[in-house]
Amino acid sequence: MSGHHLPVERAAEIFADVCAAHVSTGWLAALSARAHQRLEPFETVLKAAIAASPVMHADETGARVAGANHWVHVAGTDALTFYGVHPKRGREAMDGFGILPSFAGTLVTDALASYDV
């Protein structure tokens, strides 16, 4: 659902059509929340590895979340990428993800003022 931006209802239809498994939308929605929870240790390690890199790229782009404007922030290296969604574009969001505050290397950006320390 997340990787292909599928609505929960559509994902349930695909399960039924492809696997002949009729699953509830509630069950599917709960899977996403459980997966997020179980990936928290990985996310912590990922953020630390990106922050420890000598070079990092950071950028952001607008997106709609539940009908409201949000920002998808990305921080990455040549091998690792973190995506985070936040209602704000600036430094509050960037610091909130916990990567930029501890990054001491070369930061590659589009020169948005919020990236200046």
CA dist 58 and 117 (Å) reads 14
| Per-domain boundaries in the chain | 8-38, 41-115
Average pLDDT over the chain, rounded to an integer: 92
Q: What is the pLDDT of residues 14-30, one digit of tens each?
A: 999 999 999 999 999 89
Angle at 46 between CA 43 and CA 52, to 5 degrees: 140
| Residue 41 confidence (pLDDT) | 96
**H helix and E strand count, the chain:** 4, 4
CA end-to-end span of the chain = 36
Q: What is the mean pLDDT of residues 61-87?
A: 93
- pLDDT per residue as tens digits for the range 94-117: 899 999 999 999 999 998 888 776
pLDDT digits (tens, 9 = 90+) for 44-62: 999 999 999 999 999 999 9
Give all strands of the β-sheet with 55-65 in edge-to-edge order.
Answer: 81-86, 68-76, 55-65, 106-108
